[in-house]
Amino acid sequence: MPRTRIDLPYHVERLSILDETGKVDTELAPELPDEMLLKIHRYMLLTRRFDERLLALQRQGRIGTFAPVTGQEAAQLGTVAPLRASDWMAPAFREAAAELWRGRSLESFILYYGGFDEGGKLEESRNDLPISVPVGSQTLHAVGISYGIKYRGKDDVVVTFFGDGATSEGDFHEAMNFAGVYQTPTIFVCQNNQWAISVPRSRQSRSQTLAQKALAYGFPGIQVDGNDVLAVYAAASEAIERARKGQGPTMIECETYRMLMHTTADDPKRYRLEEDVEPWKARDPILRFQKYLASRGLLTEEEVQGLEEEIKTEIRDAVSRAEALMETLGDPLDMFEHTLEEMPDTLKEQREELIQELEAVGKEASHG
Amino acid sequence: MAKMTMVQSINLALKQEMEGDDRVIVLGEDVGKDGGVFRLTEGLFDLFGGERVVDTPLAESGIVGMSIGMALYGLRPVCEIQFSGFTYQAFHQLESHAARLRRRSRGRFSVPMVMRAPYGAGVRALEHHSESREAYWAHTPGLKMVIPSGPRIARALLVSAIRDPDPVVFYEPKALYRAFREEVPEEEETFPLGKSRMVREGADLTMISFGAMLPPTLEAAEQLKTQDGVNAEVIDLLSISPLDDALFTESVRKTGRAVIVHEAPRSFGAGAEILSRILEKSFFYLEAPVARVTGFDVVVPLFARETAYLPDVPRILRAARGILKT
C-alpha cells in the first residue's frame, strides 16, 4: 500500500580510459596486441585523410554530397575492432571508418558519392548492410538479423550505428523495445556527435544521457568517451561478449563531436560558433591515441610520417582507379537492374522504351 | 479435398509452408496464442512454438522493420498487420527499405518477406478498418502487391508469395474471409505472382475486378447474361503489381468494351492504371468509353453508410449497360 521506491536493475556508467594527454588508466585498459593497436591507428588515420580527400573532391565538383566523419573515428573503430567477420553491422550513413575496417574499398565510396549505384555493391565476404539514409530506420533491421541469429542458435552479434538525432525517431524506440523483449544479440551504438544538422543534442532529448534510454527497455546502457578508442573498445567488447553469451542487447552512447558539416550541402556557421568546436580539437581521438602509442614506444614520429605517405598514395591510387572506372560506367539501362529478381513485362517494356529513346537521341546528335 | 473458407485456406498455406521450410516465421500482434484477431494463424502456435509464431509488441513499423532484418538474414518472415489501415505506420520501412535493399546492395541482398493484412469495407467495422489502399504499394517499385478473391486462389497465391524472392504485400479481402467455401486440395497449389486469371469467358464485354469486388462483378455478369443476353468476360486481376496487362489487353481487343470494378477511391486507383493501359494498347479496338465502378474519393464512411460507398451489383450493371448502349 505505501509509496515505495522501485530500484531498477541498471544504472548508467560512464567509461573513459585514455585522456586527452595520452594518459591511460591501466586498470581499465583492454589488453590488445600491439598489431591490433597499430591497425586501429592506421584505420583512424586512413579515415581522416580519406575524409579530407573526399571533401576536396566534392569542392572540385568531382563527387556529390557526402557526410564527413572527422572526429568520430574512435567511436566507430573501437566498436568494430572486436567484431568477428561473421558478425553483422547495420550502419547509418556516416560510418566510413567502420565500413573501411570491415572491408569496404575506398573506390566504392568514391563511386557511390560520384553518383554511381555500383558503389553500393557489397562484397560477399562482408556481413554488413549497405548504408541507410532515413535516420534510425536501420536499427530495426539489426534486430531482425539478430533474431535470426538467435533462431539459428549461432553466437554472432549485430552492431548498429546511429546518432543522437536518431534517438528521437520512433523506429529507434521500436527497435530497442523489440530487442529488449526478444533479448536479441544486438549492440546499439549511438554516436552522439552533439548535432543533428543544426539541432543540438539539448534539443533532441531532455534525458541527462542517451544511454539511459536502454534502461527503459530493460537492458544496460553505458556512456563512453567516444573520442577514446580504448574506452569504446572496452565497452563494445563487453557488450559483444554479453550478446554472444545470450545475455541480450546493450546500448553504448559514444560522446563525440561532429567536427565538420552534417554533409557537404550544409554550412555549420549558420548555427554554431567556432568557439563551440574549439574545445573538441584538443580532444581529437587520433592525437591522443598517437600520444599513447608513442608513450608505449609503438609509434615514432618517423613511422607516422611514413604511414601518412603510404596512406596518401593509397588514396591517390583509389581516386585514380575510381575515376577511371566512372568513365566506363554510366549505361543508363543499369537502372532497370536489381528492382525485382525477375524483370516483369511492364519493366521490360519501359526498358525498351528507354533504348529507343537513347537511339533516337543518338541519331539526332549524329545528324547535327 | 475439403471445403474451406478463406480463413481456413490461408491458415493451411501458412501451416504447410511452415512445415516444409523452417525459414518461414509468422509474426505480428496476437498471432500466437490468440491465433490472430481473425483466427488466420489459429493452431500454428501449438504446432510450431513461440519462436516461429511470434507475438510482437504493438508496433507496426517494428514488425515490418524486424521482418526486413529477418529476410536479410535468410529467413522467410510472413508478418501480419491486423488491419491494412494500420500498415501506414510501416509504410516507411516497406517503401524505403524492403523495396530498395535489392537495388541498394546491387543484388547482394533481397527481402523475401510477405506482409499480410486484411483490407476493405463491408464488415461493419470502426474507422481505419475498412479501407482499400492497394495503390500505395503498387506505386512503389520493388514491391509486389497481390489480392486474392476466394479460398482456393488465396491459398495458392500465398504459397507463391511466401516463396517469392521479393517483398510481397498480400491484402486479404476480409469481407470474403468467411463469405463462402470452396474446395481446397490438400496437395500443393501455387499461382504465379504477376498473373491475372480469366474467371468467366464472354465476347461482348470485359469486366476487370479483384478481391472482394470479384463476387459482385461475377454476379453482375450473370445478370447481364440472363437479363440482357450479354456475354461478359470477367478477369480476376489478382496481381495489382506487377500488373498483368496481357490478359485484359487480349480480352478488350476482342470485346471492345471494358468495365473496371474496385472498391478503392477512384482517383489514381488501380483502375486508372488499367484504363491507361487499355488506351495505350487497345484504343483502336474500343467501341465505347471505358467505365470505372469504384469507391468514391472520400474517407470510407462508418458502416451505416458503407453500402452506399461500396460498388455493388446494381452499380456495376448500370455502368455496364451504359457502355453497352454506345
Is residue A2 a part of any domain in this protein?
A: no
Beta bridge partners of B205: B232
> Residue A204 domain-assigned?
yes
Supply the pLDDT for residue B209: 98
- Say whether residue B140 is in contact with chain A using an 8 A CB cutoff: no
In A, minimum Cα distance to B100 occurs at A339
Q: What residue has cell string 553483422?
A: A88
Q: Are residues A336 and A276 in the same domain?
A: no
Count of CB atoms situated within 10 Å of the CB of A14: 14
User: In chain A, how many domains are there?
Assistant: 2
Helix, strand, coil percentages for chain B (3-state, nearest 5): 40, 20, 40
pLDDT above 90 (res A62): yes
Instruction: For residue B129, indicate whether it is catalytic.
Output: yes
Residues A122, A137: Cα–Cα separation, whole Å:
19
B61/A174 Cβ within 8 A = yes
> What are the chain B neighbours of A117 within 8 Å (beta carbons)?
103-104, 106
- With CA atoms as reference, report the closest residue to A82 among A71, A98, A105, A106: A98
Helix (H) or strand (E) holding B25: strand B24-28
Q: Chain A residue with minimal CA distance to B142?
A: A339
What is the CATH number for A136?
3.40.50.970
In terms of phi and psi (left: phi > 0; alpha: psi -120 to 50; beta: otherwise), the region of A166 is alpha
What does the block give as the cell for B69? Answer: 532484418
Task: Out of B92, B129, B139, B262, pick the active-site residue.
Answer: B129
B43/B45 Cα distance (integer angstroms)? 6
* Cα-based angle A97, A103, A109 (whole degrees, multiple of 5): 65
Contact B65 A137 (CB under 8 A): yes
- Flag whether pLDDT at A135 surpasses 70: yes
**Chain A residues within an 8 Å CB radius of B73:** 144-145, 147-149
Residue count (chain B): 326
Mean pLDDT of all residues in B128-136? 96
Same structural domain, A304 and A349: no
Whether B109 has its CB under 8 Å from any CB of chain A: the answer is yes
- Could you tell me if A338 lies within 8 Å of chain B, comparing CB atoms? yes
Asked if A271 has any chain B CB less than 8 Å from its own CB, the reply is no
A201 part of a folded domain:
yes
Q: How far is B163 from chain A (nearest CA, A)?
A: 12
Residue B1 pLDDT > 80: no
**Domain identity same for A179 and A161:** yes
Kindly state whether B68 is in contact with chain A, defined as any CB-CB distance less than 8 angstroms: yes
Q: Above pLDDT 90, what percent of chain A?
A: 95
Query: Is the pLDDT reported for residue A365 higher than 90?
Result: no
Contact A171 B93 (CB under 8 A): yes
Rounded distance between C-alpha atoms, residue A55 and residue A53, angstroms: 5
Q: Is the pLDDT assigned to residue B326 strictly greater than 80?
A: no
The set of residues, in sequence order, having a beta carbon less than 8 Å from that of A186 and lying 6+ positions away, is A142, A143, A146, A157, A158, A160, A175, A179, A243, A249
Question: Within a domain: residue A7?
Answer: no
CB contact under 8 A, B106 and A117: yes
From B190's Cα to the closest Cα of chain A, the distance in A is 17
Question: Do both A172 and A310 map to the same domain?
Answer: yes
The whole-angstrom separation of Cα A86 and Cα A351 is 38
Task: Spell out which residues of chain A touch residue B61, defining contact as CB-CB under 8 Å.
Answer: 140, 170-171, 174
List CB contacts (< 8 A) between A138 and chain B: 97
For B107, the closest of A171, A175, A338 (CB atoms) is A338
Instruction: Give the gap in angstroms from C-alpha B180 to the nearest C-alpha of chain A.
Output: 33
- Mean pLDDT within B261-285: 98
Check the CA dihedral B158-B148-B194-B268 and report its sign: negative
Residue in B72, B141, B243 nearest the CB of A129? B72
Q: How confident is the model at residue A362 (pLDDT cuts 50, 70, 90)?
A: confident
pLDDT-derived band at A10 (thresholds 50, 70, 90) equals confident
| Residue B236 grid coordinates | 480476376
> What is residue A368's predicted lDDT score, i.e. its pLDDT?
59
Other beta carbons less than 10 A from residue B318's beta carbon: 12
Task: Indicate if A324 and A337 belong to the same structural domain.
Answer: no
Q: Name the DSSP class of A341.
A: S
If you ran DSSP here, which 8-state letter would residue A63 be given?
A: S
Over residues B184-194, mean pLDDT: 97
A251 plus A348 within the same structural domain: no
Question: What's the average model confidence in pLDDT over B301-315?
Answer: 96
Put simply, whether B61 touches A (Cβ < 8 Å) is yes
In a domain, A58, yes or no: yes
Longest dimension (CA), chain A: 92
Preferred mutation among A128, A129, A184, A335 to probe B, highest tally of B CBs within 10 A: A129
Could you identify the residue written with the cell 500488373?
A: B243
Which of A122, A146, A174 is most worth mutating to test chain B (most B CB atoms within 10 A of its CB)? A174
- A1: in domain: no
**What ipTM does this complex have?**
0.97
A276 and A292, same structural domain?
Answer: yes
Q: Find chain B residues with C-beta within 8 A of A181's C-beta.
A: 57
Instruction: Report the pLDDT averaged over residues A246-262.
Output: 97
Judge whether A194 lies within some domain.
yes
Query: How is residue A85 written as a grid cell?
Result: 567477420
- pLDDT beyond 90 at B233: yes
Residue-wise burial string across A325-353, b where 16 or more C-beta atoms lie within 10 A, e elsewhere: bbeeeeeeeeeeebbbeeebebeeeebee
Percent of chain A with pLDDT over 70: 100
The catalytic residues of A are 258, 262, 271
- Mean pLDDT score across all residues of chain A: 96
| Alpha-carbon gap, residue A109 to A322, rounded angstroms | 9
Q: A9 falls in which pLDDT band (50, 70, 90)?
A: confident
Residue A359 and residue A317 share a domain: no
CB contact under 8 A, A140 and B61: yes
Q: What tens digit of pLDDT does each residue of A200-231 get?
A: 999 999 999 999 999 999 999 999 999 999 99
Domains in chain B (CATH in brackets) are 2-184 (3.40.50.970), 197-325 (3.40.50.920)
Residues A237 and A362 in one domain: no
Phi, psi angle pair for B147, to nearest 5°: -140, 120
Interface test with A, best of B51, B73, B113 (most A CBs within 10 A): B73
- Dist. CA B113–CA B103, nearest whole Å: 16
Q: Do residue A268 and residue A292 come from a single domain?
A: yes
With beta carbons under 8 A apart, name residues in chain B contacting A140.
61-62, 64-66, 68-69, 93
Q: Are strands B2-4 and B197-200 parallel, antiparallel or unpaired?
A: unpaired
**Interface membership of B71 toward A (CB under 8 Å):** yes
CA dihedral B10, B11, B14, B19 (to 10 degrees): -140
Look at A181 and B70 and tell me if their CB atoms are within 8 Å: no
Q: Are residues A127 and A258 in the same domain?
A: yes
Determine which helix (DSSP H) or strand (DSSP E) holds A195, and give its type and residue range.
strand A195-196
Percent of chain B past pLDDT 70, that is, above it, reads: 100
A120 at interface of B, judged by CB pairs closer than 8 A: yes
- Whether residue B260 contacts residue B292, with contact meaning beta carbons closer than 8 Å, is answered with yes
Instruction: State the smallest CA–CA distance between residue B97 and chain A in angstroms.
Output: 8
Secondary structure of residue B137 in the 3-state scheme: helix
Are A142 and A261 within one domain?
Answer: yes
Print the domain residue range for A279.
13-328
Express each pLDDT in A321-355 by its tens digit: 999 999 999 899 999 999 999 999 999 999 999 99
Residue that the C-alpha cell 550513413 belongs to: A93
Which ranges of B44-194 would DSSP assign to H, the alpha helix? Answer: 44-48, 60-72, 91-93, 101-104, 134-138, 151-163
For residue A174, being part of any structural domain is answered with yes
What confidence score (pLDDT) does residue A125 get? 87
Q: For residues A84 and B124, what is the distance between their CA atoms, to the nearest angstrom? A: 55
